[in-house]
Structure 1
């Protein structure tokens, strides 16, 4: 799945979610760029990691720096979902 497909999926899911309303795929794409970055500009996660801080996204998981390399540690909810232990 590429960024365009991910943006479309998020827009569809937002439209189906009660109380969320419609989200534009271009706006979602810009938010993903701000979060993860582009070739031209680092995103919020990269900037936080460069400051030697950890980014924790609830039970989804966390990003951190180990010996100068960005790593991701999945959280409990993500792990359980992937193992079929949750809906």
Structure 2
């Protein structure tokens, strides 16, 4: 899934919940969260400051061995991907 597909998927999910965010709004949020080539996102900035960035249920972004960004999946994400959702 590339960025454009992700934007469309998230915009579709927000429509299902009644929030109905436009794709350009979703794109700005994704860029602010994950960053772009020109600007780091909130996750990258947190990691640079030595923080672990946790999204409950999804997982925690952290620096693996102190230098490489990594994701430690949360329980909800792991269960969904493995087909073991309660």
Q: When the two structures are superposed, what TM-score results if normalisation uses the length of structure 2?
A: 0.92
The whole-number CA distance in structure 2 between the counterparts of 1:22 and 1:78 is: 24
- Superposed CA RMSD in Å reads 1.2
Query: Structure 1, unaligned stretches of length 5 or more?
Result: none
SS of residue matched to 2:54: strand
Aligned partner of 2:45 in structure 1 is 47
Q: Which ranges of 4 or more aligned residues in structure 1 deviate by more than 4 Å?
A: none
Deviation of 1:39 (Å): 0.4
Aligned partner of 2:56 in structure 1 is 58
Deviation of 1:65 (Å): 1.0
Deviation of 1:11 (Å): 1.1
The whole-number CA distance in structure 1 between the counterparts of 2:71 and 2:60 is: 6
Aligned partner of 1:83 in structure 2 is 82
The whole-number CA distance in structure 2 between the counterparts of 1:21 and 1:37 is: 23
Query: Structure 2, unaligned stretches of length 5 or more?
Result: none
Aligned partner of 1:5 in structure 2 is 5
Aligned partner of 1:32 in structure 2 is 30
